[in-house]
Structure 1
Amino acid sequence: MSVYLKVLVSRAQKWSQLLGDGKSVKRTTTVKRYVRKGIPSEHRPSVWMAISEADKMKKQCPDLYLKILDQPFEKELVDLIKTDLPRTFPDNIYFTKEANHQAHLFNILIAYAHSNRVVGYCQGLNYIAGLLLLATKNEETSFWLLKVLVEKILPDYYTKTMDGLIVDIEVLSELVKSKAPDVHQHVINLGLPWAVITTKWFVCLFAEVLPIETVLRIWDCLFYEGSKILFRVCITLIKANRSAILECTDFTTLAECFKSIVKNASALHCHEFMQSIFKVPGTLSNATIIKLRSRFVTQRLEHQKKEPR
């Protein structure tokens, strides 16, 4: 932490100069470089809103959040969300029954569920909205950031069929096959589906998986560069722990290994970890991901056509 504090001080000074005199954040190579090195916590709410273009969404319907909260709620949605509230970061002091964060989190989730009837409420959104709330300390900002994540950055992850999520797990499997073929083959040989390993990684965007400061640094890049950041993190975790994975001899030990790799020291040192996600996986373009997604979407559609009705 003493080493990281020096990094935080240095980055805070750089961002203060960049944002001085009320300058707006624009998508430039300089800003991208700054984002990759970490956004200071005091600037995260405004910078996330700008780089994700959630602020543009808000300008189109500036009163949406308060209008939804002023309307009656569907009982089914209320019951679903209230069931998950106590499960959200139960060890975090801000999410105890005595703290107000559970009430704020309920407002964000119920408002989102009513704003997007296709998604409604999906498990996993509570962790994302909860961490957004911790980072922004503002309900409405968290609502709009959740909206841009679910509808623009990760489309079809949180629908009832979760087609986008299923396809991206297939994409990850193919990327591991090309970048770490021995690991890919070993996982297949031991019969552990990639969905078992990585569904929580994708659904929660690493919240409740990696240390919070590391997750926030990942989200800095996610809001700017989109979903390819998730693949970079996954591949880095897998390649950095290649030896441990290959030493596993059965399904059970392999599953335990994947649980442990997200808790080891490398992920705790978030600055070094974030530097590694842009080096370890090598080249990874949006074009490659789009091409792979297209292939697996086509395969799924062909498979569905062949299924008996």
Structure 2
Amino acid sequence: MERKKEASRRTRSPDGTAKDRVGSVDPYGFERSKDFDYDSYEELMSEYLVVLTHRSIKWSKLLKGKSKVQKNVKLKRFVRKGIPNEHRAVIWMAASGAQDQLEKNPGYYQSLLSAQHDPELVETIRTDLNRTFPDNVQFRKTSSPCLQKGLRNVLLSYGHHNPAVGYCQGMNFVAGYLLIITKDEEKSFWLMDALLGSILPDYYSPSMLGLKMDQEVLGELVKVKVPQVWQLMRDHNVMWTLVVSRWFICLYIDILPVETVLRIWDCLFYEGSKILFRVALTLIHRNQALIQQAQSLPDICQTFKQITHGPFVDECHTFMQKIFTEPGSLSMATLTKLRAKCRSRIIAEES
């Protein structure tokens, strides 16, 4: 019996190799919960492994060892079907423009690191280091290498690079995920710059105007695409920020399973912020009947937590196929128009 139990705890790494990790740590260093269902995970991964192996062969043929790629319809299709872990850093860097910035600014990251640091910024970041992924063995001071040092360096450098943003909570989790994948401080820094400067402007600024605006935009999209849920939120006077702010500010980190988050980020770096809306709309649309059963504000908040768990989000490959079909069309033109409307409304309310 014990032997069978241990066999079921054998994990698969996302690149498809078998890893005899008897115990409770996933391939990214996260400790699994005590009630983790190893049997279901094994069943799920045995199916996903076939997909991963197939995609890995396809990607290797496409890249042929190159670190530069041209954006085109074929590459977009490949990204939507998932980037194998061994190619993730290269594709994220190329698709987001981070690689170009790194090459245009040789030595810049190191110069930020060696500059005089603002003591207040240093202290704020230091306070958050131990709070970043306490359930991940790679961020513990006893681990070798310890990603906590790299995390400090990336956040400190970014704070000096973009003093208008500096540092705010949420950025530590984003930088942490980048380090887990790239294992490289400088690449993580430039990917942070691409995310915070281009893909998600004003999400992490002191006013967080971009974040507030996109939460309101989601509300406008739900009004059109899932009107019954929109009406329920209105009837109970529930602000969207109450139920989806962590979805957006953490880019689904700690909200959805790691493998699903990374698949979302594959598309986020390639296609931009509309991916965040596609994910949110799919979760809401798929679970609209459950959400409509909520009788009060606490009920609604609890249901929005509940819909981010379960088989639908665990099966990342199927989930990612659904985000491009369930919400229907979602053009950047529509988002731009809604953003302008919501931005004006927020500024008027806050002035």
Q: Which of the five TM-score ranges fits, normalised by the shorter chain? A: over 0.9
Distance apart, 1:70 and its partner CA: 1.2
User: Is 1:7 aligned to 2:55, yes or no?
Assistant: no
Provide the secondary structure at the position in 1 that maps to 2:130.
helix
The amino acid across from 1:188 in the alignment is R
Counterpart check, 1:147 vs 2:193: yes
Moved more, 55-64 or 293-302: 293-302
Paired position in structure 2 for 1:231: 277
2:85 match: secondary structure: coil
Unaligned runs of 5+ in 2: 1-44
How far is 1:234 from its partner? Answer: 0.4
Aligned-pair identity (%): 48
SS across alignment from 1:174: helix
> Hey, what's the Cα distance between the residues in 2 that align with 1:190 and 1:164?
25
1:284 has 2:324 as partner:
no
Which structure 2 residues correspond to residues 123-202 of structure 1 after superposition, within 5 A?
A: 123-202=169-248
Q: Once the two structures are superposed, what CA deviation does each residue of 1:20-48 show, in whole Å capped at 9, x if it has no partner?
A: 15263110000000000000101111110
The answer to whether the 8 A contact 2:102-2:187 is kept is no
TM-score, normalised on structure 1? Answer: 0.96
**TM-aligned CA deviation for residue 10 of structure 1:** 0.5
Indicate conservation of the 8 Å contact 2:202/2:209, yes or no. Answer: yes
Map 1:109-120; keep pairs closer than 5 Å. 109-120=155-166
State yes or no: 1:43 paired with 2:83: no
Where structure 1 has 5 or more consecutive residues not aligned to the other structure, the ranges are: none
CA distance in 2 between partners of 1:263 and 1:91 (Å): 18
Q: Give the deviation of 1:299 after TM superposition.
A: 2.5
State the distance in 1 between where 2:239 and 2:183 align.
38
Structure 2 counterpart of 1:50, one-letter code: A
Residue 67 of structure 1: which of 108, 111, 133 is its match?
111
Change beyond 3 A, Cα 1:136–1:34: same
Q: How many angstroms apart in 2 are the aligned matches of 1:12 and 1:47? A: 13
Residue correspondence of structure 1 range 33-112 to structure 2 within 5 A: 33-99=77-143, 100-112=146-158
Aligned length: 305
CA distances 1:239-298 after superposition (whole Å, capped 9, x unpaired): 111111011111111111111111222111100000000011000000000010111222
Secondary structure of the 1:42 match is helix
Output the CA distance in 2 between the equivalents of 1:260 and 1:54: 35
**Offset of 1:303 from its aligned partner?**
4.0
Distance 1:24 1:80 in 2: 37
Between 1 and 2, higher relative CO (CA 8 Å, sep ≥ 6) is seen in 1
Counterparts of 1:147 and 1:22, CA distance in 2: 23
Deviation at 1:65, TM superposition (A): 0.7
The answer to whether the 8 Å contact 2:248/2:276 transfers is: yes
Aligned to 2:168: 122
Farther-moved stretch of structure 1 (225-234 vs 292-301): 292-301
Local SS of the residue matching 2:48: helix
Which has more helix, going by share of residues? Answer: 1
Is the aligned partner of 1:298 residue 2:344? yes
1-structure distance, mates of 2:167, 2:340: 27
* Higher mean displacement: 220-229 or 78-87: 78-87
Segment drifting more, 93-102 vs 214-223: 93-102
Counterpart AA for 2:113:
L
Deviations 1:142-178 (A, max 9, x none): 1110110000000111110001111111100000000
Cα deviations by residue, 1:104-154 (Å, 9 ceiling, x for unpaired): 111111111111000000110000000011011111111110110000000
Taking the aligned partners of 1:23 and 1:150, their CA distance within structure 2 comes to: 23
2:270 corresponds to which letter in structure 1? Y
| Worse overlay, 138-147 or 88-97 | 88-97
RMSD (Å) for aligned C-alpha atoms: 1.1
Code of the aligned partner of 1:285 = S
